[in-house]
Amino acid sequence: DAKTTQPTSMDCAEGRAANLPCNHSTISGNEYVYWYRQIHSQGPQYIIHGLKNNETNEMASLIITEDRKSSTLILPHATLRDTAVYYCISYGSGNTGKLIFGQGTTLQVKP
Amino acid sequence: DAGITQSPRHKVTETGTPVTLRCHQTENHRYMYWYRQDPGHGLRLIHYSYGVKDTDKGEVSDGYSVSRSKTEDFLLTLESATSSQTSVYFCAISESGDRAPYEQYFGPGTRLTVT
């Protein structure tokens, strides 16, 4: 079973920020939080990851709470092409590639 | 985008026939993975490889075998295809699997239908 919980679906207006929450209350100290997304019929796409500190790259920002029990992925200016299923995964050493994809959050960006 | 290709992209086969799916990478990454994706189950790991000729089972490995004779190629074989193996198959690669960073990069997928 996935070790993270996410809302099933969310809507966002085009051009606005999309904030996708994730709970990972059982995350261990050496586990990172990873975000992937899957646009319809395509392979999952890596977005960003973090351990303790907030992270930003060209795609998104990741805000991790101080207790590391939850995080938020932020797409600063959502576009229609950001409509996808977003997966939050906790993963660390010893997992050897065994990413556990839950059901994710279906983000619908609307014009 | 990471250099990952999968072949074939679509295949229809009959029950009982052998099927081989190929994943090819140009990134020289050490780790390669095969997943399947089915409605209601998300992505599930079938097998993975942590080097040439080094492979291990994932959570849904029954009915599948793999081989990796070169860094760039990872083959998934269904010895005798069954209808329950109808699925979309994704290959992924990773520079590392046991130390950070762990991000995986996925191929475009192969849609397999077993009739």
pLDDT of residue B46: 95
- Tell me if A97 and B100 make a contact (CB, 8 A cut-off): no
Give the C-alpha separation, B90 to A74, whole Å: 27
pLDDT of residue B38: 92
DSSP sequence for A6-74: --SEEEEETTS-EEEEEE-TT--TTEEEEEEEE-TTSPPEEEEEESSS-EE-SS-EEEE-TTSSEEEEE
Asked whether the predicted pLDDT for residue B2 surpasses 80, the reply is no
DSSP sequence for B45-110: EEEEEEETTEEEE-TT-TTEEEEEEETTEEEEEESS--GGG-EEEEEEEES-SSSS---EEE---E
Smallest CA–CA distance, residue B31 to chain A, in Å, is 8
Interface of B with A (CB under 8 A): 31, 33, 42-45, 48, 50, 56, 58-59, 90, 92, 94, 97-109
Residue B38, SS3 per DSSP: strand
- Looking from the CA of A4 toward its CB, the CA atoms found within 13 Å total 32
Tens of each residue's pLDDT in chain A, 111 residues: 558 999 999 999 999 999 999 999 888 888 889 999 999 889 999 999 999 989 999 999 999 999 999 999 999 999 999 999 999 998 876 666 677 788 899 999 999
Smallest CA–CA distance, residue B30 to chain A, in Å, is 12
Report the amino acid identity of residue B7.
S
Q: What is the pLDDT of residues B6-62, one digit of tens each?
A: 999 999 999 999 999 999 999 999 999 999 999 877 889 999 999 999 999 998 999
pLDDT of residue A40: 87
A96, A103, A106, best to mutate vs chain B, most B CBs in 10 Å: A96
Smallest CA–CA distance, residue B47 to chain A, in Å, is 10
pLDDT of residue A94: 64
Asked whether the predicted pLDDT for residue B83 surpasses 80, the reply is yes
Phi, psi of A35 (to 5 degrees): -120, 135
Classify A86 in phi/psi space as left (phi over 0), alpha (psi -120 to 50) or beta: beta
Indicate the average pLDDT of chain B.
Answer: 92
Phi, psi of A86 (to 5 degrees): -110, 130
Task: Specify whether the CB–CB gap between B86 and B19 falls below 8 A.
Answer: no
- A–B interface: beta-carbon pairs under 8 A: 63
- Tell me if B59 and A97 make a contact (CB, 8 A cut-off): no
